[in-house]
Structure 1
Amino acid sequence: MRGNNKWTGLALVAGLAVSANAVAAEAPNLNSDPGRASDFGQPGQLVISQDASGFLGYNTGNEIFQINLEPAADYFLQQNLSIGAAAQLALGFGDATIVGLGVLGRVGYNLPLNERVSFWPKVGFGIHFGHIPDNSDVSFVLDVYAPILFHVTEHFFVGAGPQMRALISDRGFSFGSSQGNFSGNDVTIGISTTVGGYF
């Protein structure tokens, strides 16, 4: 009887040890699966991101406070080469309140810099509608954005980088126009931020 109790006790201890190990293995660990730059940019990945900025940017018309929101989707055709599309909403506050809406297609190329950081510059071209009091204009938009991404966890990143946006048309739409109308082509330079994920 004593021998049976001994083996029962040992089996119980072994079972508890195995259960404790199983529970420990299931416990979440934020550092156990960090994001890796090498995982980003694989063929077939779909990236959903939100680019946003709020800055005192330099504008060819004037200095203005401008807010940009840009939800986007990008797809990696092959290793590190992406194509995508983005919608644009821009609000400018200066001599007059200005609203801009647009859509553009873009091409990007991802460059891993180290284990958790990559550089993903993109060039886009599209159509932009701008409105200021008593006037509106449709123009082409050329956009260059070069964010550095930090891969926080697997499939999730944050980033920031310089952005240049030029609106091109015969009349041109100037965000910073002190006259409150369209005068010349418009170029704005500033810093944008990015939050996104991929699968």
Structure 2
Amino acid sequence: MRGSNNWTGLALVAGLAVSAQAVAAEQPDLNADPGRSSSFGQAGQMVISQDLNGFLGYNTASEVFLIRLEPSADYFLQQNLSVGASALVAFGFGDSTVVGLGVLGRVGYHLPLGERVSLWPKAGFGVQFAHVPGASDVNFVLDFNAPVLFHLTPHFFIGAGPQVRAVISQDVGSLGSEQGYFAGNDVTLGITTTVGGYF
């Protein structure tokens, strides 16, 4: 009887070991395929981001430092390919006080880099109304930013990265343009930070 119990115990231990190996084999290796390391960027996802985005940059056309707040919404048309829009709110301090309001459409592509890290470059085009003391103007805006995202939880991320923004204007007094036309020197360079979530 004791021998039978020993064989039963050995069989039980062997069965548990085989089951554990089978379960381990079914677990995906997150490092083997970075594209599956995060659920971000799937077709049909809606992303609400940059609600707390702050952009601090230096403008090449004048001694003005700019702070931008840009709440945004993006939608993934297919895996990793997104389209979206941002509301533009800008404040400039320095040689003059500048206020800008506008909207920007954009397209982006999500590039997974690791288990919790990815790159989400986006290019956009928009329209912005700018006001400085004694003058107002409507500008066209070209924008490129490439934040590195850190996925803290499955539906929440933070990130930071470089941003380049050019302003095309026809009038003097615009936000970031003193030339009256786009001459390659009314460009704002800076670092953008982002906080967002998706569902």
Q: Which TM bucket (shorter chain)?
A: 0.7 to 0.9
* TM-score normalised by length of structure 1: 0.75
The structural deviation recorded for 1:37 is 4.7
SS of the residue 1:115 aligns to: coil
Gaps in structure 1 of 5+ consecutive residues: 1-35
The structural deviation recorded for 1:162 is 0.5
* TM-score normalised by length of structure 2: 0.75
The answer as to whether partners of 1:174 and 1:182 remain within 8 angstroms in 2 is no
The structural deviation recorded for 1:65 is 2.1
Match of 2:161 in 1: 161
- Counterpart code for 2:67: I
1:6-85 correspondence runs (5 A):
37-50=37-50, 52-55=53-56, 57-85=57-85
- Counterpart code for 2:47: V
- Counterpart code for 2:126: G
Residue deviations 1:127-163 (CA, integer Å, cap 9, x gap)? 0111000100001100101000000011000000001
Gaps in structure 2 of 5+ consecutive residues: 1-35
- Counterpart code for 2:58: Y
Q: Percent identity?
A: 67
- Counterpart code for 1:158: I
- Counterpart code for 2:120: W
Question: Runs of 4+ in structure 1 displaced over 3 angstroms?
Answer: 172-177, 181-185
- Counterpart code for 2:114: N
- Counterpart code for 1:193: T
Residue deviations 1:9-51 (CA, integer Å, cap 9, x gap)? xxxxxxxxxxxxxxxxxxxxxxxxxxx8531000000000116
1:71-150 correspondence runs (5 A):
71-150=71-150
Output the CA distance in 2 between the equivalents of 1:164 and 1:37: 29
The answer as to whether partners of 1:94 and 1:176 remain within 8 angstroms in 2 is no
- Counterpart code for 1:141: V
